[in-house]
Amino acid sequence: MKNGYERLVRPLLFSVDAEAAHDLTIRLLGSASHFDLALRVLKFFQPPSKPKTLFGLNFPNPIGLAAGLDKNGVALPAWAAVGFGFIEIGTVTAKPQPGNPKPRIFRLSAQQALINRLGFNNDGADAIADRLRRLREGGQWPAVPVGINIGKSRATPLEEATDDYLYSFRLLRNFADYITLNVSSPNTPGLRELQEPQKLSALLHAIRSEAGTAPKPVLVKISPDLSSMELEAILAACEENEIAGIVATNTTLEHSSVPAVIDKEGGLSGAPLRERATAFVREIVTNSAIPVIASGGICDAASAREKFQAGAQLIQLYTGFVYRGPGILREIMDQL
């Protein structure tokens, strides 16, 4: 049965361009974040509490907002009010950038999927650090863990990627309960090369050295398009550098499930990624003790339960939230 969002709100949002609908939603939630009455209304959607402790952090429930929905961290109080157990903002880059040319988000409604080629459009680490500082100093910081997802600036050569990540890390780590290193977006040229063992080890070692004696948990977000051998090498590098967790997975370039007449260039997310992402969670858990946050194809309670049964400790929503709205949080929690 469709919930109120699916019956009333989604048709309105889906009547306009996908990115315009996304921007409108973020603006509205950003505005709501500054009004107590609006936040109280949003709390109507909050699911029952089911606390979870991971990375030394306390999560009121295991459902998080995936990076990509709130790239610039403008609506943290609203996401917490809706009922997310944690929030991951970003991807944030050292330099502000507009991203790829529009149009760059495409709905595949019949498949409950999205294709995006946004390209890390964001305000940049300096502006986002200032925004987060104002939020904290204004007493509006959410009472749930906040992760910050950082990536390489498009203009930065690959050989200078480590310095680029370090710039963002230094600016943002004090605002983050954990940091996720995005080395797997398909929409920044060359970025996925950072998943190669030698390059990844160099990046992880530099971040670990910068973190010092009181490090924040550092996670790595990986591609679902890796071979088993590539995944094994990534896990070895993560273990060697004491990485706290793996986010599995990013969007996929495998579009065989998409009819050619509606296919677009970019990363595919949503229901078509469900089985692939679950298989990655299972493979990671089988071969490593590193905790996993599952992201990919979680569109209902059954697909969420599947991720937990595969061994995920936490889950994140993006496309499922776009299609199902805040009601999906309670649906998942009621049926876990």
User: Contact 218/244 with Cβ under 8 angstroms?
Assistant: yes
Per residue in 236-257, is it b (16+ CB within 10 Å) or e — as a string? ebbeebebbbbbbbbbbeebeb
Distance CA(284)–CA(280), nearest Å, equals 6
Give the residue numbers marked as catalytic. Answer: 185
What is each CA distance from 244 to 175, 180, 239, 290, in whole angstroms?
Answer: 18, 10, 9, 7
Give exposure, 153-163, as e/b (b: 16+ Cβ within 10 Å): bbebeeeebbe
Closest CA to 53 of 330, 239, 336, 291: 291
Residue 109: other Cβ atoms inside 10 A = 12
**What's the token pair of residue 15?**
């009547």
Helices then strands (H, E): number in the chain? 13, 13
DSSP string, 210-260: HHTTSPPPEEEEE-TT--HHHHHHHHHHHHHTT--EEEE---BS--TTS-G
Pair 50, 279: CB distance under 8 Å = no
CA distances from 9 to 78, 93, 322, 323 (A): 17, 32, 11, 10
